[in-house]
Each structure stands twice: as structure tokens, then as C-alpha cells.
Structure 1
Amino acid sequence: MMDEVKNWPFTHDKLVVVKNGLENFNLLSREESREKLNIDKDEFVVGTIAELHKVKGIDILLRAWQKFIKNRKARLIIIGEGEEKTKLINMAHSMGISDTVIFTGNIDNARSLLLALDMFVLASRKEGLPYTILEAGFTGLPVISTKVGGIPEIIDSGVNGILVDKEDTEALFSSLILLSEDEKLRHRLGQALKEKIEKEFSLEKMVKETIALY
């Protein structure tokens, strides 16, 4: 995102980047979250929180999921509403994966349920700097995302998460396999992202940097 700003007709030495700040929020326990979502305590769960618009790439996620779910027991949770919802539900049915995918619709304070997941995925075709990744990372979840918009400013692929090219179903599928089969890697990436978010994306840091501009 900063690279795009550098192309604007301003004096570059006057540019100052103030990163989004994430306030602390309450989380339900893994057990409580799974109970609310009607998920078995032993299931492996992948999830996303997104508006169901084409730009969010839920169709790409479903295609990767279709390959991933073969010979596996797992659940995909999609939290959100949007004009693509009916189309995506029908897509899941036609792909034969509807019994492994839950479309919850909108949930108030959805981020409080993040601990129900084993990993978080954002397959967007276009983004700014999404709060959903900050929120997922804040909980210590491992994140797979596309390298669009400001996401590479949050995730260093292989260090604190995994980035794939947008619309690359095969890379997304491979990343799902990689993380699902390596609990230690999930923990390492999740903790590294949590540490980065606490250090660089806290609300207190954003306020201090904003005040310093005046």
C-alpha cells in the first residue's frame, strides 16, 4: 500500500504512515465459541469473516476447499452476508461440499468467536488493510491470505503467516494442506503474527503516532 502512495504527486519526505490500530477485545473460549457455532470440539476448523462480495474471493476459497476436504474430516466456517451468498451456497452444493461448509450469515461481534478456528483464511482479490487479519492474528491464529493491498505489510510469508497470489486456487489448497498437517508450524506462525500485531498495530501506538503529527 505504501508503494502505491509513493506514486502520488506529493513530496515523499513529508509522507508519514500511521498504521491501523487494533483495540483489545473479548474472546469466548474455544469451547464456548464452538458450542455457539454448533461445531464438534474435535473437528479441524478453517474460517473466514468477510462480506460475501466477489472481491472477497469466497469462490476461490470454496474451490480450494473442495480439493482439501477429500479424504479429510474438517469444517469451513464462513461468517458474513452479501449479494453473493445464495450463489456461493449453491456453488457449495453443486461441488458436493455443502455438508462441510457452514454459512452463518452475520454474527454480532463475530471476532469474539475466533478461537473456534484452527486457522483463518482471507482469499480476497482486493483489500486495503483488513481488520479481520489483525483480529485473527491478535488471537494467535495462523493466517493464510492473498498478497493484495496492505496485507503484505502485516504478513511476511513463511515468517508470521502464508501469502498466496490472488485467484491461485492451487497455492491456497497447498497452503491449507501444509498448515493442517503441521501443528507446530501453525503455532509458530500464529505466535509470530500475534507478536507483530501487539507491537506494531496497537490502538495506543496509532494514537501516539497520530498525536505526534500535530
Structure 2
Amino acid sequence: MNVAVFIKKTTLHEGFGGLETQNKALCEGLAKRGHKITIFAPKQELNTDSQELNGVSYKFIDCSYRSLGGFGYLDKNNWINRSVEAFKQSYKEEKFDLILGQSSAALGLVMKKNELGVPVVSISHGTTTGEYKTLLQSLSSPKDYIKLIPNTAYFLLNFFNRQREFVLHSDKVIAVSKFVRQALIDETFVDESKVVVIYNGIDEDIARTKKEDGVVRLFYVGLIHRSKGLADLVVAMGQIRDKKVELTIVGDGPHLMGLKEMVSEKKLLDKIHIFGRIPHKESMKLLGESDIFVLPSRRVEGFPMSIVEAMLAQVPVIGSNMGGIPEGIEDGVTGIIYESGNVDQLKNAILKLSEDEELRNVMGKKAFEKAKKEFTLDVMLDKYEKVFNEVIL
């Protein structure tokens, strides 16, 4: 099968996150199964037009990626137009069986799919309303509130335009969690039969290398942003500073310096160790040394891949009840779910697991079994191939 994939940025671009990581795993996994995969993305800061990596072809397009108030199609250099041009040019050289769009990145092709004669499948990692709720939770300064006006206009544009266009006009939409699926149905009124759930999966062996020094190690990896609830985690750590519990935070983002300042102000530098962005291999080594993974998010999450990584490392997870997080964590079995923003509940969950090694081990083993059954790369690829075949046939 020859698949054209459209995405706003890739793991080769700066500032990539979970969506780009999932796309990389999906595309490379499909390529290993014999499919021909070509990824189209805006060039942005990259200095190359194309690249071959791990069996996947990349084509980078010179363009702008601004919505222009919903009138981006009037700009010939806009991604919505340039993506279609790039596809047509490539299609002359090789026929594509399917177009796969990450979120609304394939919107231009979705709107011309009848003309192109190629079916389109889109992947949704979240919804416009979820993103707007995250924005509201992140407001803290007068500058943020001033920006709220144009951001609200952008939300309304996406809600009534971009999101509905790519959801309603794709041949099939893949939601990364049941939560995202229901939110899409509620927000766009799309036919329920058009939206299927496929959880993110990974293929990774993470070695357990626990240190026997009596310290219980907590671990977080991901975006450093106010909406991720890391301030709650710092406060909780301050309340149990007398315990032999330490926290390692890995990642980068707009609130990295603010988080470091908070840790310093609370005199927790000996308890909380903050790294910036580090190579994935090093991050997974730290995860393997950990006893508990914590995801204290205050934002509406789709289905975080970090949860699956922790489960495959046999590490129990403490997570908030936001978005698709509870679909990865079986409360009381593979980890603990708490009410987002409730620091007391978060603190108590940390204490419960940190003080009971046997419970951690049992939960970790059950988390591993659940991940191997539901969240592996092969399980994800099988389900994607099934959707592709249904759409093509």
C-alpha cells in the first residue's frame, strides 16, 4: 500500500511532541510491514527538501502555515494549497492508495478528495474544545488575558470550520481514545460509525534497573507547561519533604525556567531534579530506574504515550482524571487516578505507593501485562491496516 501522510511538523523539526513521536512510530512500523510511506510536512526551519529515514520518505514543502482567519486558501503559498500541489506532483510519479492526515494537516486534500480520487483517513489526538479549555487553565498574567481575545477568535474558527471540515469530510477518523471519539461526535455531530478508536502503541523494551538505596523515585517526562500540572506535583513534594522520595522531571517547554525557580524557592533542589530535553534513550534509562510515573496533567489529554512507556517499564502510574488518561490507567490495579488539581489526592497517592513496595511491584506487573495486550506497536498497526483496507475497498 502506498500512503501519503500529512503532518504539521515531524520529529526532525524543533519542538516536536507526542503527536510527532506517534506519527514516527506509526510510519516506520508501516514501512517495516512493506508499505511505502511518504510524509509531507511544512519545511519551516529545515534546510532540506527531502530525506529518507528508517524506510520512510520525507518531503518538506516551502509554505506558510497560518490559518489567516479561515481564508488561508486565498494565499497560494499557504499549506492548505501547497500541500495539495505537492501531492499532485508526487502523484504523477507514483500513485497513492491512501492519504493519512494528522489532525487537520490534510485539510486541503480532504476538501479535494473527490477530485483527487484518493480516500482520506484523519487522526484526531484531541478536540478544539479541549485545547481551548487548556488555554483557559493556563491564564496567569494580564498579557495572557489580552491574548485571549484573538485566541478565542481562533478557537471559534477551528470549532466551526477546520475541525468540522476535516472530521466530516474524511472517509474515516481515528480517535486516539474513547474520550476523544465522544468529544468529536459531540462537537461535530459526525456519524458515530465514521469514528473509530485506536490507542497509541509503542514497541520498546525498557530495562528495569532499580537502585537499592531506599529512595523511592518518581518520574515525569513530557512538555513543561503550566497545563501539565507540574506545579501541583512540586507542592505535593513539598508536603512530603521528610520522606525518602525524590522526583525527576525530563522535558522542555515555556515554563521550564519558572518550574526551576519554583523548586528553588520551595527549597526542594535536593528532592526534585529537573533535566531539559535529553535523548530518548537516556530518558528511558531514567524511567527504568524509577518506582512511580506521575502524570499530574490539568489539560484535556488525548492518550499520552508516556503512560504506555511507563507500563512497559513495569512502573505503576499516578495520573489525573483528564481526557484519555483513565483509559490507560486501571485505577487501583495498574496505578492510581486522582482528581485533577487536587494536591491532597495527589500527595496521598504518592504516599500510598511510595510506602508499599509490594503494591508497586504488583501494579507494575499488571500494567506491563495490560500494555502488552492493548498498547503495543503491533496491536496499533494491525488496527490501522484494518481501517486502511476498509476505506480502500
Per-residue deviation, 1:187: 1.3
Equivalent position of 1:68 in the other structure? 240
Q: Structure 2 matches for 1:143-158, cutoff 5 A?
A: 143-158=317-332
Residue equivalent to 2:222 = 50
Q: Is the alpha carbon distance of 1:23 and 1:94 closer, same or farther for their aligned partners in structure 2, counting shifts above 3 Å? A: same
Q: Shift in Å at residue 3 of structure 1?
A: 2.8
Uncovered stretches (5+) of structure 2, i.e. residues with no partner: 1-178
Which of 243, 248, 260 is 1:77 aligned to?
248
Q: Say whether 1:3 aligns with 2:3.
A: no
User: Which residues of 2 match residues 121-132 of structure 1 at below 5 A?
Assistant: 121-126=294-299, 127-132=301-306
Per the alignment, residue 29 of structure 1 pairs with 209
Q: Conserved in 2, the CA contact under 8 Å of 1:81 and 1:105?
A: yes
- Partner of 1:48: helix, strand, or coil? strand
Secondary structure, aligned partner of 1:62: helix
Give the Cα–Cα distance (whole angstroms) in 1 for the partners of residues 359 and 310 of structure 2.
16
The Cα shift of 1:136 comes to 0.6
**1:139 aligned onto 2:313:** yes
Deviations 1:23-48 (A, max 9, x none): 124547346xxxxxxxx844221111
TM-score of the superposition, structure 1-length normalised?
A: 0.89
Amino acid at match of 2:291: D
Structure 2 distance, partners of 1:19, 1:28, is 24
- Greater alpha carbon shift after TM alignment, 86-95 vs 170-179: 86-95
Greater relative contact order, per chain length (Cα 8 Å cut-off, separation 6+): 1
Alignment of 1:99 with 2:256, yes or no, is no
Residue of structure 1 aligned with 2:197, choices 9, 17, 26? 17
Checking the alignment, whether the CA contact within 8 Å between 1:81 and 1:106 is kept in structure 2 is yes
* 1:130, distance to aligned residue in structure 2 (A): 0.6
Matched, 1:188 2:368: no
Q: Which amino acid aligns with 2:284?
A: R
Structure 1 runs of 4+ with >3 Å offset: 25-31
Label 1:184 to 1:51 Cα distance change in 2 as closer, same or farther (>3 A): same
Deviation at 1:112, TM superposition (A): 3.2
> Which position in structure 2 is the counterpart of 1:202?
376
Structure 1 stretch 138-147 or stretch 90-99: which is displaced more? 90-99
Match of 2:132 in 1: none
Secondary structure class of the residue paired with 1:21 = coil
What's the secondary structure of 1:99's corresponding residue? coil
Q: What is the deviation of 1:162?
A: 0.4
Q: Is the 8 A contact 1:49 1:79 kept in 2?
A: yes
Q: Is the 8 A contact 1:27 1:113 kept in 2?
A: no
TM-score, normalized by length of structure 2?
0.50
SS, match of residue 196 in structure 2: coil
Extract unaligned runs of 5+ from structure 1. 32-39
CA shift, 1:80, in A, is: 1.1
Decide whether the 8 Å contact of 2:210 with 2:291 is kept in 1.
Answer: no
Aligned twin of 1:113: 286
Identity percentage of aligned residues:
31
Equivalent pair of 2:217/2:246 in contact (CA under 8 Å): yes
